[in-house]
Structure 1
Amino acid sequence: MINMPLEKPQHRIAVLADQCVQCGLCLPVCPTYGLDGNEAESPRGRIALAAALARGQVSASPSLREPIDHCLGCLNCQRICPAGVQYEELLIETRGLLGPAPDRPGLLLGVVKRPTLNRWLQRLARWTGAMRWVPAVLAGKTASSWRAALSLLPRPSKLSPATPVSQRAPDLGMVTLFPGCAASVQDAEAEHAAELLLRAAGYRVTRLPAFCCGALDLHDGAVADADRAAEQVRRAWSGAQADRLITITPGCLSTLRRALPGVRVDDPYALLAEHLDRLAFRSLPLRVVLHVPCTQANVARSDEALVRLLKRIPNLELKRLSAPPYCCGAAGSHVLQFPDRADRLRDDVLAHITRLDAQLVLSSNIGCRLHLAAGLAEHASTPPTLHPLTLLAQQLDIR
């Protein structure tokens, strides 16, 4: 990552943009270019727009910022780029220069970022049937954002919860779990599963308090809010006394690493895969489809470790969804800000799930999983969705 804190944002953007050789190899792996077939909606096009903005050749008009706001931040382009363009850094700097989009759903995101308020309002929404009447009293894009948010309310799992197993003496060191904001509410079961699996492997596990790491703000150009969240991360970590920080949500990884340079920040899969000899799993004759979120493939790069873990479950028939550009369209706040585009991106993924005739769909990112679950429900499809850690913990056996 390029780190030039004393230079102006415009200069940092120009330096980052100059790394691009305009070869076009990023186009086939870009979901938004595949959606629109528009050069401006490609990484190469966005880099050109960012460079022109930084050099004062164009103004920050709505037509300029729209393709930049549409970017999913999936980083398929960064992974494949032969010139090593640091696209994520360029996107963050450019959005920071532009500032948050005028129609950014700030109120909704404020709820998502506050776990206690999020939990309370979800209960209220179910009790009042808010899905039916809230969009009707709102207008325009605001109604679309609220409708998208209400459609993401989690549905109950049809699988039984994980049961505790005897734990190995902790001889592999201590790790600290970062609960996050939305994950601490919607993925509490998966966080419990991560603790159970890590302890079974021989780790001592502690927890940080539940709060937002700042990923939503950082990737939306809300720089001041993102900086405050990063400072909260640093304060919380300073008392952790652990070897590394663990999150079950790959969408948080990049932001946590940015806030804690020099700290090992990972998801749990590589740690668990390194100690497969310590873990045993019960048989499960089930046809399972694995959706690998873009951030898990391109930031964590832990997808192969996850596949190795799942393949240790006897009789599990594991099918993996296609590699990029299959993005589900959730992408942090994208699903709330651009619900129609998010639905179009999701349609290809749902069609692939249908072709594979899944009995269960696994995805490790909370936004992706809720977005996929909402789409499956709209299509009257039956497979439940689950975090892969939850499934692994459910099948964990005493050796």
Structure 2
Amino acid sequence: MNDMPLEKPQHRIAVLADQCVQCGLCLPVCPTYALDGNEAESPRGRIAIAAALARGQVLPSPELREPLDHCLGCLNCQRACPAGVRYEELLIETRALLGPSPQRPETLLSLIKRPKLNRWLQWLARMTGAGYWLPAILGGRKLGAWQSALSLLKGVERPARISTAAEMAPSTQGTIALFPGCAASVQDSEAERAAELLLAAAGYRVIRLPAFCCGALDWHDGAADAAGAAAVQVRQAWANTNADYLVTVTPGCLSALRHALPDVRVDDAYHLLAERAEQLRFRPLPLRVALHVPCTQSNVARSDAVLTDLLQRIPQLNVLRLSPPPYCCGAAGTHVLQFPERAAPLRNDLLSQVKTLDVQMLLSSNIGCRLHLAAGLAEQASTLPTMHPLTLLAQQWERVL
């Protein structure tokens, strides 16, 4: 294989693809295969396409790249694979080789990745009610992403503001740098305050990094240069912290942050809180809640079990987890913006589960997933509130004197 007459990226893709033994155990856990029943829309079908492109056996075409663009990057297949195929790496390399899709909404994403401008535009949209009337007058494929983005503003309620000013015990467990991100720093600001409060209560010192994009949206879409520039910015911000851990409240950022800082412990808050769970006390809450575990939380952070344990520390809280793979809400980075017609049925499958559970709240840790699910609930005229689990934990936290 070392003598393969291929350029380095193509060589890596071919080597990664050769790890696949075509056993098909990935098929039952793949949401897009469940949606289409089409082998090209399955992990092993995409691996075969990537290998053929890397070896020059086929030329890139819209028909060939479409299944690769449709991939959610949920990594259910990678977790189920008995051969240890590094599917995430293969997908990222192949998308970088092809470059971003022509349907990628570059202008919209440039706004999303700029938190200050994003915050101002969202305020303007809410003040004018643009999320309700503007989609009706927009049309055409190129404007579809803007319609989807505006629809995500519907149905999201602002939770009660969490104060982090409470006096805490001395910090003894090290320093955590909290990464705000781009969209999360705007839409998940309460969850970030909740993380600060809970981590400080558990004995950690928490500092904040500046708000900017980690590069996950660009890695997901094959915009390698922009993703590389974001990784440099992450390393520069981290270098000034002298922190022991880097934490994000959005599991969708984890892969990009870990890629930028391979020698740093990069995690969501749940593992660190679980290690100090005996320091935390919670007030009772007689509530029945549905827990949506985002794919990245299950397959990248792998913190779904510790999250459930933390929530169960709230007395009287009844937590009902939604079904495991092949279910995916369809948000998947920019997927909901580029392919809303595919994201909608995936979301509707999950919301039908929520309806059968007869719950009073829906919890989800990933900002894109929660906005997507909340928009679906709003379309169904449902008043079911959605919330980040950290926000709920912080609201029920009880200071021990």
Moved more, 387-396 or 145-154: 145-154
Aligned to 2:210: 209
Aligned to 1:142: 142
CA distance in 1, matches of 2:123, 2:158: 20
Aligned-partner residue type, residue 276 of structure 1: A
CA distance in 2, matches of 1:135, 1:216: 23
Pairwise mapping of residues 39-188 of structure 1 onto structure 2 (< 5 A)?
39-136=39-136, 138-153=138-153, 155=155, 157=157, 160-164=160-164, 165-188=166-189
Is the Cα–Cα contact under 8 Å of residues 161 and 394 in structure 1 kept in the other structure? no
Deviation at 1:166, TM superposition (A): 3.3
Deviation at 1:365, TM superposition (A): 0.1
Which string of whole-angstrom CA distances, capped at 9 and with x for unpartnered residues, describes residues 149-202 of structure 1? 001116453753334543121011111000000000000000000000000000
Pairwise mapping of residues 296-307 of structure 1 onto structure 2 (< 5 A)?
296-307=297-308
Aligned to 2:324: 323
Moved more, 265-274 or 154-163: 154-163
Is the Cα–Cα contact under 8 Å of residues 30 and 43 in structure 2 kept in the other structure? yes
Match of 1:167, SS state, is coil
Which string of whole-angstrom CA distances, capped at 9 and with x for unpartnered residues, describes residues 249-308 of structure 1? 000000000011111100010111111110000000000110000000000000111001
Aligned to 2:15: 15
Runs of 4+ in 1 over 6 A off after TM superposition: none
C-alpha spacing 1:362/1:26, structure 2 compared with 1 (3 Å): same
TM-score by length of 1: 0.96
Match of 1:59, SS state, is coil
Match of 2:176, SS state, is strand
Moved more, 17-26 or 140-149: 140-149
Is the Cα–Cα contact under 8 Å of residues 166 and 398 in structure 1 kept in the other structure? no
C-alpha spacing 1:255/1:139, structure 2 compared with 1 (3 Å): same
Is the Cα–Cα contact under 8 Å of residues 14 and 55 in structure 1 kept in the other structure? yes
CA distance in 2, matches of 1:21, 1:156: 44
Aligned to 2:3: none
Aligned-partner residue type, residue 166 of structure 1: E
CA distance in 2, matches of 1:159, 1:215: 26
Deviation at 1:136, TM superposition (A): 4.9
Aligned-partner residue type, residue 82 of structure 1: P
Is the Cα–Cα contact under 8 Å of residues 135 and 143 in structure 1 kept in the other structure? no
CA distance in 2, matches of 1:156, 1:113: 20
CA distance in 1, matches of 2:279, 2:103: 50
Aligned to 1:3: none
Match of 2:325, SS state, is coil
Match of 2:254, SS state, is helix
Match of 1:100, SS state, is coil
Superposition RMSD on alpha carbons, in Å? 1.4
Is the Cα–Cα contact under 8 Å of residues 103 and 338 in structure 2 kept in the other structure? yes
Deviation at 1:139, TM superposition (A): 3.1
Deviation at 1:125, TM superposition (A): 1.4
Deviation at 1:235, TM superposition (A): 0.6
Is the Cα–Cα contact under 8 Å of residues 101 and 220 in structure 1 kept in the other structure? yes
Aligned to 2:229: 228
Is the Cα–Cα contact under 8 Å of residues 132 and 151 in structure 2 kept in the other structure? no
C-alpha spacing 1:290/1:9, structure 2 compared with 1 (3 Å): same
Is the Cα–Cα contact under 8 Å of residues 289 and 320 in structure 1 kept in the other structure? yes
Aligned-partner residue type, residue 247 of structure 2: I
Is the Cα–Cα contact under 8 Å of residues 136 and 143 in structure 1 kept in the other structure? no
Aligned-partner residue type, residue 84 of structure 1: G
CA distance in 1, matches of 2:147, 2:174: 45
Aligned to 2:296: 295
CA distance in 1, matches of 2:98, 2:73: 16
Identity of aligned pairs, percent?
71
CA distance in 2, matches of 1:64, 1:112: 29
1:35 and 2:64 equivalent? no
CA distance in 1, matches of 2:396, 2:138: 45
Aligned-partner residue type, residue 46 of structure 1: R
C-alpha spacing 1:91/1:158, structure 2 compared with 1 (3 Å): closer
1:24 and 2:18 equivalent? no
Which string of whole-angstrom CA distances, capped at 9 and with x for unpartnered residues, describes residues 223-250 of structure 1? 1111111110011111110001000100
**Structure 1 spans left out of the alignment, 5+ residues:** 1-5
Aligned-partner residue type, residue 153 of structure 1: L
CA distance in 1, matches of 2:353, 2:39: 26
C-alpha spacing 1:356/1:366, structure 2 compared with 1 (3 Å): same
Is the Cα–Cα contact under 8 Å of residues 25 and 80 in structure 2 kept in the other structure? yes
Match of 2:221, SS state, is coil
Moved more, 121-130 or 82-91: 121-130
CA distance in 1, matches of 2:131, 2:304: 35
